[in-house]
Amino acid sequence: MIALTISDTMEADAACLRTAELIKRNRSIGMPDAICIRNDSFSDETFASMTELVSRLWDGEIILESDIAGNVSKALIHVLDRKPLIVGANADNIEEFAMPANLFDCPLCISGERLEDLMDLVQKAGSLGVRRIAIDPMMRNMKQCLELCTDLKRLAETVPEANHRIVIRTWSGEYAMTMATVSLLIDDQIVIADDLDHDSCETLKELLRCTR
């Protein structure tokens, strides 16, 4: 899955134009697969309003990204039937994020910088009742992306906590394109980019087709 981002700090008109462009791109080349709505405002009302706006226009996969579990809960009201991936859980807030994930039966992405800590968090999320989990090893560069994804896939053969979808969070432009390209070498990944232009999406789609 390749997801592109809409910030909840955007004006409504700009967000509509952005969503319309992503819909057009999805229909023409089949990418992006999802839209990630990011809670840059840290406001629950603003996040919920943007989620409602985007979900009315976009009928594909949705990802909700926030550092505040309560804000996610408020936004989820508008997309209950979509079961969006929730991004934002870490060692400091895993209990808070487990609550909306369980209540609304949504997959939860858990972030951690060290694989050992990440595996412990996955185990803890399971003990809190979270049924569907994705893992974000918080990769910072291309080399780390390849190494950590490879390590996780090998680890998954013997450690159940590693056997989950891998989330790769990246930025915009050429480096985001490079990170996304590297991620295509690993099966069952979710790439969340701030932005990729039309040509980059088209290239990734073709690469993805060739690797399957």
143 token code pair? 């080399």
DSSP-based three-state secondary structure for 192: strand
CA–CA gap between residue 174 and residue 179 (Å, rounded): 9
DSSP 77-129: GGGGGG-PEEEEE-TTTHHHHHHHHHHTT--EEEE-SSHHHHHHHHHHHHHTT
pTM: 0.93
- Residue 133: strand pairing partners: 108
Q: At residue 114, what is the residue type?
A: R
CA–CA gap between residue 162 and residue 183 (Å, rounded): 17
pLDDT by residue (tens digit) across 89-136? 999 999 999 999 999 999 999 999 889 999 999 999 999 999 999 999
Hey, what CATH topology would domain 2-211 get?
A: TIM Barrel (3.20.20)
103 token code pair? 């209540």
pLDDT score of 88: 96
Q: Which residues contact 43 (CB under 8 A, 6 or more apart)?
A: 8, 71
- Residue 84 pLDDT exceeds 80: yes
Pairing mode of beta strands 61-65, 189-193? unpaired
Nearest to 31 by CA among 211, 149, 145, 193: 193
